[in-house]
Amino acid sequence: MAGAPNIREVALRAGVSVGTVSNVLNRPELVAEPTRERVYAAIAELGFVRNDSARQLRVGRSRTLGLVVLDVANPFFTDVARGVEDTANQHGLAVILCNTDEDPRKEASHLDLLAEMRVQGVLINPIDIDGRITALRGRGIPVVLFDRLGDPAVECSVAVDDVLGGRLAATHLIEAGHRSILFVGGPLTLRQVQERYEGAAAVVSAHDDVELTVLTTTALNVAAGRAAGDRLAAGGRDALPSAVFCANDLLALGVLQALTHAGLRVPADVAIVGYDDIDFAAAAAVPLSSVRQPRQQLGRTAAELLLAETTEDEHEHRQVVFEPELIVRDSSVR
């Protein structure tokens, strides 16, 4: 009796059968009012809490959803996670958070665990797109990709149009009169970096008088940005581009810091545009212009697609592509 009263004890106390208690829990409208009240009372008196594993075992699936991200410490994923959590909670689902640290082995082991838990579905920003993901799907667990488009024949996916984002940034800078633009970002093997660059390059190629150069970085963090900024500043005032477009805000913050430190003024000497519009972009000493991605929206939509896949009879996979939006602040306006 101590510790964990079960449904049988509740039934005993309320003077009904276990089936009735279960009905009160799951389809209260089937149970007559006085009986229902008696059951509720018994539950309260015993402090009964439904054992979810037993329910799960019978029903076949759990009330959880797996979220697999590269790194929770990255504000981008944090905001996506918020969106996922909100939507999941609205549907009574809990979210299991997994970090992969860009390690395919960690990704695999997390997916194995989620499979054992029979989660309702998995939202993932995948590293290794095939392998286990296909296996999961084969086991009837829907998988939705986010921040990465997949094959619409087999899966739903949600992403942001990074090529468009690159176009927006470049168009803005050109319209502001800049004729030499430097793209800072890397590694170029990352799809996001690649596409942001392509977008900018497409716009620039339509203007004969505009020049686009590239400075590749090894990572997308503040330290890499600072290193890039130092290199720029070291080249001397004459070698400076008139504007810098960074593949994400962390890089942009690093560049901003290094340039300011070298005595250069932003945007007077060099304009800067970042990408992501993380909260700290607006909070920088020179508020950063940035290409905003609807991060929470991304998470919410991914979760909704997943739920649709589990509930709809005839599910058709969808690809949702969001449009980014340019937020102009001080760093790019003279």
Q: Work out whether 283 is an interface residue with DNA (CB under 7 A).
A: no
279 binds, among its own copies, DNA, none (CB under 5 to 8 A by kind): its own copies
Q: Decide if residue 53 touches its own copies (CB under 8 A).
A: yes
The residues near 129 (Cβ < 8 Å, ≥ 6 apart) are 145, 148, 150
Tell me which of 1, 3, 33, 208 binds its own copies, using CB under 8 A. Answer: 3
Stretch near DNA under the rule CB under 7 A, chosen from 19-27, 122-130, 139-147, 197-205: 19-27
Asked if 23 touches DNA (CB under 7 A), the answer is yes
Q: 241: how many CB neighbours lie within 10 A of its CB?
A: 22
**If binding means CB under 7 A, how many residues of this protein chain bind DNA?**
30
Stretch that binds DNA, among 20-28, 65-73, 184-192, 253-261 (CB under 7 A): 20-28
17 binds, among DNA, its own copies, none (CB under 5 to 8 A by kind): DNA
167 or 295: CB nearest its own copies: 295
Name residue 8's amino acid. Answer: R
Give residues 110-169 in contact with its own copies (rule: CB under 8 A).
Answer: 110, 112-118, 135, 138-140
28, two tokens: 């209260």
Q: By C-alpha distance, which of 2, 116, 10, 8 is closest to 56?
A: 116
30, 44, 73, 333: which one binds its own copies (CB under 8 A):
73
For residue 115, the Cα-to-chain-centroid distance in whole angstroms is: 21
Residue ranges in 57-96 that form contacts with DNA under rule CB under 7 A:
57-60
Q: Which of 75, 149, 230, 327 binds its own copies (CB under 8 A)?
A: 75
Please identify which residue in 22, 23, 242, 257 interacts with its own copies, judged by CB under 8 A: 257
Element (H, E) at 245: strand 243-246
Nearer to DNA, 139 or 236 (CB): 139
Q: Is 79 in the site for its own copies (CB under 8 A)?
A: yes
- Read off the tokens for 136: 């999961």
- Tell whether residue 328 is a contact of its own copies (CB under 8 A): no
Regarding 19 and contact with DNA (CB under 7 A), the answer is yes
For DNA, the closer of residues 28 and 104 by Cβ is 28
Question: Smallest distance, Å, CB 102 to its own copies?
Answer: 14
- Pair 318, 156: CB distance under 8 Å: yes
Only one residue has tokens 């800078």, namely 173
For 271, list phi and psi in degrees, rounded to 5.
Answer: -90, 155
Given CA atoms 184, 212, 188, 278 in this order, what sign does their dihedral have? Answer: positive
Q: Closest CB to its own copies among 78 and 171?
A: 78
Question: What DSSP character marks residue 239?
Answer: G
Q: Are 296 and 79 in contact (CB under 8 A)?
A: yes
User: Maximum distance among all alpha carbons in the chain?
Assistant: 89
Q: Does residue 50 interact with its own copies by CB under 8 A?
A: yes
DSSP readout, 162-228?
HHHHHHHHHHHHHHTT--EEEEEE--TTSHHHHHHHHHHHHHHHT-TT-EEEEEE-S-SSHHHHHHH
263 binds its own copies (CB under 8 A): no
Selection from 246, 250, 248, 249 nearest residue 232 by Cα: 246
Burial class (CB in 10 A: 0-12, 13-18, 19+), 169: buried
Q: Which residues are near its own copies by CB under 8 A?
A: 3-4, 47, 49-54, 56-57, 62-64, 72-73, 75, 78-79, 81-82, 85, 89, 92, 94-99, 106, 110, 112-118, 135, 138-140, 222, 226, 250, 253-254, 256-257, 260, 279-280, 282-287
Q: Which residues are near DNA by CB under 7 A?
A: 4, 6-8, 15-23, 25-26, 30-32, 34-36, 48, 50-51, 54-55, 57-60
